[in-house]
Amino acid sequence: MSEKESQSSLGSSRRNFMKVGALAAAGFFIVPRHVLGKGYIAPSDKLVVAGVGVGGMGGNDIAGVYKSGKAEIGFLCDVDDRRAEKSRASFPNAKYYKDWRELFEKESQNFDAVTVSTPDHNHAVVAMAAMQMGKHVYVQKPLTHDIYEARMLTDAAKRYKVVTQMGNQGSSGDGVRQMREWYDSNAIGDVHTVYCWTNRPVWPQGISWPATKAEVPKELDWNLWLGTAPYTDYVDKLVPFNWRGWWDYGTGALGDMGCHIVEAPFSVLNLKYAQDVQASVGSVYVDEFKRGYFPESCPPSSHVTLTFPKTDKTKGEVTLHWMDGGIQPARPEELAPGEVFGDGENGTLFIGTKGKMMAGCYGENPQLLPTSRSSSFKVKDKYKLARVPGSAGGHYNQWVEACIAGPGNKEVSSPFEIAGPLTEALLMANLAIRGIDIRVPKADGKGYDYPGRDIKLIWDNNQMRVTNFDEVNKFVKRDYRSGWTLGV
């Protein structure tokens, strides 16, 4: 199919979907089940779920929802038949679609909730459309590709009164609750500095876009996969995973792992929106003294410093350091030489006025330092927190039960009111990273200046913009490809 023909097909589907949206706005859709009464359960006693993006992590998501025993997987949707094969075999009675807009148009009265597990650049449009139909949503991390999208989804969750959950399962884990108890019990005093790190990326970054286009696999609808992103010819080794390293589709290591690792300090310290950010990145040299320039690709490594305002859990500002590409902070002197720092590849380190504590990815295996304190420190009874049944593994079940109970009737660990600000902080860090590659020709025409390097970006949270380097604000809200809209 040519791009023109594909666009025509998309346009027809889009027009039909907009008709559905109009009906929804006019009140002609089926009334969401939770409106029928507190604790109302569907006649089948199960939540009917539609999965959008059902390969890889999407397959794990619908499987996790199904294992709750309280959900039925009614519909599957994926642009790539190869990726959907396993899920289709696991749920043979689920009706299959390639285009989520067609699924929403034809089946809107037949499902209650949606899991969104597409690449980052299409999260927001799917989730927004689902919420506008009164559907509960579970969205993979990061919540969105852009800061603007995160803010809009956070606001929409309140407006449409649906149950929301982001797929950072560590937020339901015992580890982060243990650290909250320690901190609230004054085990390490007032935290002023946090370090977060990961070995990611484990996919190529800091490279040039492939020069040779390839043939689109017959099972893949390339135009649908691109979705909101600019049209480009298909290239090998982008789908299904390496898209994470390209700014048009992914959000780099920060987007992939930040929601898992930075969630702990957000929860423990009640952080919200950052006020400033600065970054440095790993360089790639293509020749002697010749630094490569790859603005389409995320860098191979980075160190980002974010400043958060004082919260009700801190006495002053909090400085949070993010490190990726294998970069780690110095080992704490309280950690014995043979003890593992974080989990060896990822970690979070809290530095307080009276001590330190650390954890691995997802907030797992939390430790006070020295680690001998972990078993001896006594948490005050008033600070003890209830645990999510199943810990991190109970993240899906928690969402399913909350959907069945109806909005406001059952707690979830990562609703958009929490996940939105967390995602925004990570994407704000990416503003500083992307700003490093902004260049302008020198006045004498010999080379370029890079005004975004070695500066701190000041953030106006209400206006959602950087106040001292306007060039990066184009990344706060990107332009969608013609025909695609967030529908705010």
**For the stretch 193-231, what's the b/e string if a residue is b when 16 or more beta carbons lie within 10 angstroms of its beta carbon?**
bbbbbbbbbebebbbeeeeeeeebeeebbbbbbbbbbee
- 8 Å CB contact between 49 and 112: yes
Distance set, CA 263 to CA 70, 181, 289, 363, 444 (Å): 27, 16, 39, 8, 47
What pLDDT score does 488 carry?
79
pLDDT digits (tens, 9 = 90+) for 433-455: 999 999 999 999 999 999 999 99
Residue 343: band (very low, low, confident or very high) from pLDDT cuts 50, 70, 90 = very high
Q: Which two tokens stand for residue 333?
A: 């002197």
Measured between alpha carbons, how far apart are the two ends of the chain, in Å?
Answer: 31
pLDDT digits (tens, 9 = 90+) for 100-125: 999 999 999 999 999 999 999 999 99
Residues 6, 78: Cα–Cα separation, whole Å: 17
Residues 352, 183: Cα–Cα separation, whole Å: 9
Report the share of the chain in percent with pLDDT over 90: 90
Q: Which two tokens stand for residue 257?
A: 């792992």
Q: Kindly report the length of the chain.
A: 488
- 8 Å CB contact between 465 and 104: no
pLDDT digits (tens, 9 = 90+) for 371-424: 999 999 999 999 999 999 999 999 999 999 999 999 999 999 999 999 999 999
What pLDDT score does 39 carry?
39
Q: Is the pLDDT of residue 12 over 90?
A: no
Helix residue spans in 242-343 (DSSP H): 252-261, 263-269
What pLDDT score does 414 carry?
98
At 157, the amino acid letter reads: A
Report the share of the chain in percent with pLDDT over 70: 91
Q: Is the pLDDT of residue 469 over 50?
A: yes
Q: Is the pLDDT of residue 9 over 50?
A: no
- 8 Å CB contact between 262 and 256: no
pLDDT digits (tens, 9 = 90+) for 344-362: 999 999 999 999 999 999 9
User: Is the Cα torsion angle 406, 409, 413, 417 positive or negative in sign?
Assistant: positive
Residue 238: band (very low, low, confident or very high) from pLDDT cuts 50, 70, 90 = very high
Whether omega for the bond prior to residue 441 falls within 30 degrees of 0, making it cis, is: no
pLDDT digits (tens, 9 = 90+) for 291-312: 999 999 999 999 999 999 999 9
What pLDDT score does 275 carry?
98
Q: Is the pLDDT of residue 88 over 70?
A: yes
What pLDDT score does 17 carry?
45
Q: Is the pLDDT of residue 208 over 60?
A: yes
Phi first, then psi: give them for residue 460, nearest 5 degrees: -95, 105
Question: Whole-number mean pLDDT of the chain?
Answer: 92
What pLDDT score does 487 carry?
86
Is residue 388 exposed (0-12), middle (13-18) or buried (19+ Cβ within 10 Å)? Answer: buried
Residue 36: band (very low, low, confident or very high) from pLDDT cuts 50, 70, 90 = very low
Residue 45: band (very low, low, confident or very high) from pLDDT cuts 50, 70, 90 = confident
Residue 44: band (very low, low, confident or very high) from pLDDT cuts 50, 70, 90 = low
What pLDDT score does 258 carry?
98
pLDDT digits (tens, 9 = 90+) for 246-286: 999 999 999 999 999 999 999 999 999 999 999 999 999 99
What pLDDT score does 35 carry?
43
Q: Is the pLDDT of residue 37 over 70?
A: no
Residues 301, 283: Cα–Cα separation, whole Å: 8
Distance set, CA 376 to CA 186, 354, 392 (Å): 14, 16, 25
pLDDT digits (tens, 9 = 90+) for 16-32: 444 444 433 333 333 34
Residues 416, 412: Cα–Cα separation, whole Å: 10
- 8 Å CB contact between 174 and 337: no
Residue whose C-alpha is closest to residue 487's, from 19, 148, 11, 21:
21
Q: Which two tokens stand for residue 142?
A: 């990061």
Q: Is the pLDDT of residue 56 over 50?
A: yes
Residues 75, 114: Cα–Cα separation, whole Å: 9
